[in-house]
Amino acid sequence: MTPSATTKTRHRIGLTQELIVFVVAVLLFVCFSVALNGFLSPENILNLIRNVAMLGMLSLGMAVVVIGRGVDLSLVAVMAVSLTLSIVLANQGYAFSTALALGLTFAIAVAVVMGFLIAYVEIPAIFATLAVSAIVYGLGRGVIASLDVNNIPDNLHWFLFLGRGALLGIPMPIWLFAICSAALYLFLRKTGLGRFTYGIGDNISTARITGIPVRPIIILQYVISSTMAFLAGCATAASVASMNMRMVNSTLIYDVLLVVILGGIGLTGGRGGVRNILVGTVLIGLLLNGMTILNISYTVQNLLKSTVLLFALVIDAFLNPRDEQTSQQGDI
């Protein structure tokens, strides 16, 4: 099979999986609406929307990296610690806009270091990002803040509006998610750098031969991922007026991987896009919300999510087999 035929086959598989996930999400919404008391209550729908927006923004960041055939396990740590840094600086007297800029700078600096380790030192992404995640959390808990939970200063109504307000009847977190989705779609589909990202994910050796600046683009992928994590942190902190660093030790990163893989973005790289993230986010958001309403224990939720993730990885291995071409790309 020629590379072009391989690419077309992958796109058809991705489209089929995307449609299946969308149908499952619709059915799940209907079932929960009928069977679960309080599922359609305004409070629950608002909570679902906020959680979906945060999960979606994190998944957009992960998607860019996975399309380029990497992985970013530092997303949650970068989100929590960068916003904690901004909040701590604001409580120390910095203007909140300045504090946010410094928090974003921290997130980007982490991404550049991480991308350098992966692109130039050639440390496998799964190990580099896992190590960086631990370092970032250690900095956050041991240097930046003495408390796990840090509250946003009073009278920041403009910032809280991002998490609690609404525009044209639509909650602001959904607007943020929509803007991020549109921006990422334009980047991946309408720019040369986005097309280079697909090329790197499809076959990194061919990308180098054709003159694509592989290493700088790998760093750019992680910068985009960390930026999305920071924006997700803004939506989360604005919703609850605080940031809790304990979420670093939660299973949130597995929820993000679930969204990406179930949505149809294969770990072999080079395919998928924003639409896959949208359907995956809706499905996982509904599933998590339903388990919460059913009062399923945290341990059992983790068991179910881990089982679904393993099942998704097996399906991905069948849908995207490692052939001679993909084996040249190296492992994540």
Q: Nearest 5°: CA angle at 135, between 134 and 138? A: 85
Q: Is residue 66 part of a domain?
A: yes
User: Which residue, 317, 304, 308, is CA-closest to 258?
Assistant: 308
Alpha carbon of residue 258 to chain centroid: 10
pLDDT of residue 15: 55
Q: Is residue 156 part of a domain?
A: yes
pLDDT of residue 72: 93
Q: Is residue 63 part of a domain?
A: yes
Q: Is residue 328 part of a domain?
A: no
pLDDT of residue 31: 86
Q: Which domain holds residue 81?
A: 10-29+42-319
How do beta strands 170-171 and 166-167 pair? antiparallel
Q: Nearest 5°: CA angle at 92, between 157 and 54? A: 45
Q: Is residue 288 part of a domain?
A: yes
Report the CATH number that the domain containing residue 88 is assigned in CATH: 1.10.3470
Q: Helices then strands (H, E): number in the chain? A: 14, 4
Category of 169 on φ-ψ map: left (φ > 0), alpha (ψ -120 to 50) or beta? left
Domain count of the fold of the chain: 1
Can you read off the two tokens belonging to residue 163? Answer: 């998490």
Q: Is residue 331 part of a domain?
A: no
Walking along the chain (332 residues) 10 residues at a time, the average pLDDT comes out as: 44 63 83 83 80 90 93 94 95 92 96 95 93 94 89 88 85 91 94 91 87 93 96 92 90 89 81 87 85 83 80 72 49 43
User: Which residue, 178, 154, 160, 159, is CA-closest to 168?
Assistant: 178
**Rounded-to-integer distance, Cα 274 and Cα 165, Å:** 25
Q: Is residue 2 part of a domain?
A: no
Which DSSP letter does residue 245 get?
Answer: G
User: Which residue, 58, 126, 77, 125, is CA-closest to 277?
Assistant: 58
Residue 100: CB partners within 8 Å, gap ≥ 6?
Answer: 86, 234
pLDDT of residue 255: 87
Q: How far apart are the first and last CA of the chain?
A: 24
Question: What residue type is assigned to position 141 of the chain?
Answer: R
Alpha carbon of residue 256 to chain centroid: 5
**Rounded-to-integer distance, Cα 49 and Cα 233, Å:** 15
pLDDT of residue 322: 57
Report the chain's mean pLDDT, rounded to a whole number: 85
**Rounded-to-integer distance, Cα 136 and Cα 166, Å:** 33
Q: Would the CA dihedral through 159, 164, 170, 175 be positive or negative? A: positive
**Rounded-to-integer distance, Cα 90 and Cα 171, Å:** 25
User: Which residue, 4, 85, 28, is CA-closest to 262?
Assistant: 28
Alpha carbon of residue 331 to chain centroid: 20
Long-range contacts formed by 146-151: CB under 8 A, 24+ apart: 148/244, 148/245, 148/246, 149/242, 149/243, 149/244, 149/245, 149/246, 150/84, 150/87, 150/88, 150/91, 150/242, 150/243, 150/245, 151/87, 151/91, 151/241, 151/242
pLDDT of residue 269: 78
Question: What residue type is assigned to position 301 of the chain?
Answer: Q
**Rounded-to-integer distance, Cα 103 and Cα 98, Å:** 9
Question: pTM of the full predicted structure?
Answer: 0.85
Q: Is residue 326 part of a domain?
A: no
